[in-house]
Amino acid sequence: MSKFSDIIAAKNAANQKDSKPVNQKNGKPEIPISGKPESQKARKPETSADDKVEYVNLTVKVDKLRRQHWAAEAKRKGMTLTDVITKALTAKFGEPSK
The confidence score (pLDDT) of residue 16 equals 73
pTM of the model: 0.46
Q: What is the mean pLDDT of each run of 10 residues along the chain (98 residues)?
A: 80 71 63 63 62 88 96 94 94 90
The confidence score (pLDDT) of residue 69 equals 96
The confidence score (pLDDT) of residue 50 equals 59
Task: Check: CB of residue 18 under 8 Å from CB of residue 26.
Answer: no
The confidence score (pLDDT) of residue 38 equals 66
The confidence score (pLDDT) of residue 67 equals 95
Distance (Å, whole) CA 45 – CA 51: 11
The confidence score (pLDDT) of residue 80 equals 93
- Burial category of 29 from C-beta neighbours within 10 Å (exposed 0-12, middle 13-18, buried 19 and up): exposed
Distance (Å, whole) CA 98 – CA 37: 37
